[in-house]
Structure 1
Amino acid sequence: MTQRRADITRGLWLGLLGIVVFAVTLPMTRLAVGTPEAPQMSGLFIAMGRALVAAALSAVFLVATRAPWPRRQDVPPLLLTAAGVVLGFPLLTSIAMRHVEAVHASVIVGVLPLATAAVGALLHRQRPSAGFWLCAGLGSALVVAFTMLRSGAPGGGLSIQLADLLLLAAMLCAAVGYGYGARLSQHLRAEHVICWALVMALPLTLPLSLANWPATPLKATAWWGFAYLAVFSMWLGFFAWYRGLALGGTVRVSQVQLVQPFLSMLFAVPLLGERLDAVTAGFGLAVIGVVFIGKKMPVNALPLASLPSRP
Structure 2
Amino acid sequence: MSQMKPVSQLQLRPAASVEVEAYLLGAMSVAAFALTLPCAKILAGHLSAMQIGLFRSMLAALAALPILYFTRSACPNVSQIKRLLLMSLGVVYGFPILTAVGMQHVPVGHGGAVLAALPLATAIFGTLITKDRPPLLFWLASIAGFVAVAVFAAIRSDMGGGIYLGDLALLGAVVLAGYGYAQGGALSKEMKGWEVMCWALVLNLPVLLPLALLNFNVADFSGFGAVQWGALAFLAFVNSLLAFFSWNRALALGGIQRISQLQFLQPFFTYSYSIILMGETFDPLALFICIAVITFVVVSKRALVKR
The two structures share one fold, judged by TM-score above 0.5: yes
- Please point out which of 110, 116, 139 is paired with 2:116: 110
Indicate the percent of aligned positions where both proteins have the same amino acid.
37
CA distance 1:213–1:67, change in 2 (3 Å)? same
Q: CA deviation at 1:240?
A: 0.3
Aligned to 1:27: 38
Alpha-carbon separation, structure 2, partners of 1:123 and 1:299: 20
Aligned residue among 156, 163, 167 for 2:170: 167
What's 1:218 paired with?
223
Alpha-carbon distance in structure 1 between the residues aligned to 2:269 and 2:161: 23
| Aligned pairs (5 A) from 1:30-49 | 30-33=41-44, 39-49=45-55
> Structure 1's 197 and 70: CA in aligned 2 closer, same or farther, altered over 3 A?
same
Letter in 2 for 1:77: R
Q: Deviations over 1:8-52 (max 9, x none)?
A: 33212111111111111111111122xxxxx21111111111111
Residue of structure 2 equivalent to 1:179: 182
Give the Cα–Cα distance (whole angstroms) in 1 for the partners of residues 110 and 291 of structure 2: 18
TM-score scaled to structure 1, two decimals?
Answer: 0.87
1:62, CA displacement in angstroms? 0.2
CA shift for structure 1 position 290: 1.7
Unaligned runs of 5+ in 1: 34-38, 302-311
Matched, 1:246 2:275: no
Cα offset for 1:7? 2.1
Of the three residues 268, 276, 291, the one matched with 1:285 is 291
- In the alignment, is the contact (CA less than 8 A) between 2:106 and 2:164 conserved in 1? no
Pairs within 5 Å for 1:139-158 = 139-149=145-155, 152=158
- Kindly provide the CA deviation profile for residues 31-88 of structure 1, in whole angstroms up to 9, marking residues without a partner as x: 122xxxxx21111111111111111111100011110011011111100111110100
- The two structures, once aligned, show a CA RMSD in angstroms of 2.1
Contact 1:54–1:198, Cα closer than 8 Å, also in 2: yes
For 1:236 and 1:254, locate their aligned partners in 2 and report how far apart those are by CA, in whole Å.
18
Does structure 2 conserve the Cα–Cα contact (< 8 Å) formed by 1:139 and 1:291?
Answer: yes
* Alignment-derived partner of residue 305 in structure 1: none
Offset, 1:152: 4.1
* 1:133 positional shift: 1.4
Separation in 2, partners of 1:69, 1:286: 44
* Number of residue-to-residue matches in the alignment: 293
The CA distance in 2 between the partners of 1:162 and 1:275, in whole Å, is: 29
User: Do residues 119 (structure 1) and 130 (structure 2) align?
Assistant: no
Alpha-carbon deviation of 1:158?
6.9
Mapped partners of 2:306, 2:122: distance in 1: 17
Per mean C-alpha deviation after superposition, the further-off stretch among 243-252 and 98-107 is 98-107
Do the aligned residues in 1 keep the contact of 2:109 with 2:153 (CA within 8 Å)? no
**Kept after mapping to 1: 8 A contact 2:112/2:153:** no
